[in-house]
Amino acid sequence: MVLSLTQKERMLLEDQKAHEQICIDKYNNYASQAQDPQLKTLFQQYAAQEQQHLDSINQMLNGQVPAAGQGGSQSQQQSQPAGQTMPSPMQGAMGNQTDAALCSDMLMTEKYISGTYDTTIFEFVDTNARQVLNHIQKEEQQHGEGIFNYMKNHGMYNPQ
């Protein structure tokens, strides 16, 4: 299916493209810094999924509508339990502080990115393109949930 973009849609997709690239870079960088192997794996899985998002955005910028569920759901199902398992033994206070800071930054990033998809989705004319963007936004929210659960289960976040 050929996608003809308005000027505003193109501008919004360029913004989302930049956001997705930042997420890929952060997740890869943070995976190498994470002390807990479980967190390292979670970040690596999310980096791969962000790459899928970037690929979809690039397809849209090239005038093609990718399939709405393209590839992402399966890796999300594999990564979701990582955030929901019981706490692993502490790697020392410094390792826990480092991991907490990485998680906090990524949780804030995911909140921001999910919000930017709201505007992008509402500005799109093509229903199929909206569905693709909505699917990406849902996965961004799942990333946030996975990070939140990891933090809560490892004593890094205490919802009141």
CATH code of the domain containing 141: 1.20.1260.10
Tokens 């992008």 belong to 120
Instruction: Judge whether 2 lies within some domain.
Output: no
97 occurs within a structural domain: yes
- Any domain includes 1: no
160 lies in some domain? no
Find, among 45, 42, 44, 15, the residue nearest to 29 by Cα. 44
Total number of domains constituting the chain: 1
Phi then psi dihedrals of residue 36, to 5 deg: -80, 125
What are 2-55's pLDDT values in tens digits? 899 999 999 999 999 999 999 999 999 999 999 999 999 999 999 999 999 999
Q: pTM value?
A: 0.83
Contact 133, 117 (CB under 8 A): yes
- Condensed to tens digits (0 to 9), the pLDDT of residues 136-160 reads 999 999 999 999 999 999 989 877 7
Contact 47, 24 (CB under 8 A): yes
Nearest to 45 by CA among 32, 31, 59: 31
In a domain, 34, yes or no: yes
- pLDDT score of 107 more than 90: yes
pLDDT of residue 123: 95
- Cβ atoms of residues 34 and 57 within 8 Å: no
Q: Are 10 and 58 in contact (CB under 8 A)?
A: no
Q: Is residue 158, in this structure, part of any structural domain at all?
A: no
Q: Report yes or no on 81 lying in a domain.
A: yes
Distances (CA, A) of 81 to 42, 84, 156: 9, 5, 17
Residue that the structure tokens 């791969």 belong to: 48
Domain containing 146 equals 7-153
Instruction: Please indicate, yes or no, if residue 53 is contained in any of the structural domains.
Output: yes
